[in-house]
Structure 1
Amino acid sequence: MESKRQQKFSKLIQKDLSEIFQRQTKHLFGSMFITVSEVKMSPDLSFAKVYLSFMLAKTPEENIKLINQHKPEIRKFLGNKIAKQVRIVPELAFFLDTTLDNASRIENLLNDIEIPNDDKINPDDYSRDID
């Protein structure tokens, strides 16, 4: 379980990285719409796992590779934003957020389940099982 300090720092990093992706990295990523869905901090706050999702992206895995190639620039932008609030700018690791894909897959599985109509169930069919 994350400490309050980790949670506070995670929110700060998430907010600032969102702004960086929207405003300062257009020259690196073009019109790519990047959402920072979650940030998980190490206990010593020196490492951040950043989960990203992409709107209308055909190849999200390629986008993650591109972002990882520009990790030093992104970390520098982040350092400029949070330098007065933290001692150490954390190392960043970017991952593809698959939460929406997983939720969609589960929803499809649940929709495929056939539930019998209550009107067609005869209680006498199950009375032998109870005895």
Structure 2
Amino acid sequence: MAKNRFSEGAGPSQRQLRVGELIRRTLSDVLNRGDIHDPDLNRLSITVSEVRTSPDLKIATLYVLPLGGNNREEAIQGLKRNKHELRRALSKETTLKFTPDLRFLIDETFDRLDETRELFARDDVRRDLDEGEDEA
């Protein structure tokens, strides 16, 4: 089996990062302007926090979160329902050779941050951390 940089756990290339950021900014603008003709989607304020592209740039996974973290499923369904219109807007506003297929996932970064804060607030964890500082 041939080894490549992805089988060894390397991260995304500069090109993937650059294209992902271009897609993120463009679709954030499209959603903020309300360019999509779907009243259910337009009434939600959706943040596109990150876009990860496949190595061949044919698939873009958008990590999104509605304002306040509410209506998550409704936001995902609205984005999926309007995927073709979003791709068309992306195609019009960028100079990408190919417009990638769009996939949508809820960004759970903030949930993980809350869980981490709760973990560090626990008495047994704080005690262990304080003991570690005393040894240093």
- Name the TM tier (shorter chain): 0.7 to 0.9
* 1:87-107 per-position Cα deviation (integer Å, ceiling 9, x unaligned): 100100011001101110111
Q: Does residue 86 in structure 1 map to residue 91 in structure 2?
A: no
* Residue 63 of structure 1 pairs with residue 63 of structure 2: no
What is the TM-score when the length of structure 1 is the normalising length?
Answer: 0.79
Q: Which runs of 5+ in 2 are unaligned?
A: 1-10, 132-136
Percent sequence identity over matched residues? Answer: 29
Aligned residue number for residue 15 of structure 1: 25
When the two structures are superposed, what TM-score results if normalisation uses the length of structure 2? 0.77
Q: Which residue of 1 aligns with 2:134?
A: none
Q: Matched residues in 1 for 2:62 and 2:87: separation?
A: 12
Q: Distance in 1 between matches of 2:126 and 2:108?
A: 32
Aligned length: 116
Q: 1:35, 1:100 → 2: CA distance?
A: 12
Q: What is the CA distance between 1:62 and its match in structure 2?
A: 2.3
- Aligned partner of 2:117 in structure 1 is 107
Asked if 1:32 is matched to 2:33, the reply is no
Give the aligned partner of residue 128 of structure 1.
none
**Per-residue deviation, 1:110:** 1.4
